[in-house]
Amino acid sequence: MNEARRRNVLLGLHLLELLEKVFGRIAGVVLNSPVILRPFVVESRIDGTVLPLTTFVFFFVIGTH
Residue 19, amino acid:
L
Is residue 37 packed enough to be buried (19+ CB in 10 Å), middle (13-18) or exposed (0-12)?
Answer: middle
Count the domains in the chain: 1
Q: Could you read off the pLDDT of 5-54 as tens digits, one per residue?
A: 777 777 777 777 777 777 766 665 655 554 444 455 544 445 555 555 55
Instruction: List the domain range (segments joined by +) for residue 16.
Output: 2-64
pLDDT of residue 13: 72
